[in-house]
Amino acid sequence: MDKYVGAFRAGIAAANEVHESQREIDTVLREFSNALERATDGRLRVAITESSFLMSAIEDAVIAASAQARPKGKRLSLAAINKVNGKSFEMAGWRQGKSAYPCWLIFRNQDIACTDRASLEVELARLAASPDVGERILEVLK
């Protein structure tokens, strides 16, 4: 039965790796949210929410194209939320597979697969610095 011991250990190690990656992603997103709170005097925070609209015309086309199209998973987005009045806007689409990485950010006509912590941090910084997001932050703060 020794042959199964190795197999079990490999499975457990793989699961631990996924959990560790997910914890890392959660930490990065928490830091991102904290930064938005600091930048807006504690009025806005970031959350992953179920998307209320289709993320792109391409997804729109996929849905429209087929009566069989039934989204299996929820479409998620990275949203900025006003903590006082609940107003929010979707900064980017968000997608993740079962193995944590890559996690996908979808914005400005780009599907970006972040394969590690460094790449996620770089892309979130790029998202935060985009004038579109700045404009929407001002709207939600009103």
129 forms part of the interface with other proteins (CB under 8 A): no
95 forms part of the interface with other proteins (CB under 8 A): yes
Contact segment (CB under 8 A) with other proteins among 9-17, 41-49, 76-84, 112-120 equals 112-120
Q: Read off the amino acid at residue 112.
A: I
* Cα–Cα–Cα angle for 29, 50, 104, rounded to 5 degrees: 50
From candidates 24, 25, 87, 104, binder to other proteins by CB under 8 A: 104
Q: How many residues touch other proteins (CB under 8 A)? A: 31
> What separation, in Å, do the N-terminal and C-terminal C-alpha atoms of the chain show?
66
Q: Cα–Cα distance between 26 and 42 in angstroms, integer?
A: 20
Q: How many CB atoms lie within 10 A of CB 25?
A: 17
Crossing angle of helices 117-128 and 2-39, in 10° steps, is: 20
User: How far apart are CB 79 and other proteins at their closest, in Å?
Assistant: 19
Identify residues 15-74 at the interface with other proteins (CB under 8 A): 56-59, 61-63, 65-66, 68-69, 71-73
- Integer CA distances (angstroms), 129 to 19, 39, 123, in order: 30, 12, 10
132 forms part of the interface with other proteins (CB under 8 A): no
113 forms part of the interface with other proteins (CB under 8 A): yes
Binding site for other proteins (CB under 8 A): 56-59, 61-63, 65-66, 68-69, 71-73, 95, 97, 102, 104, 109-116, 118-120, 122-123
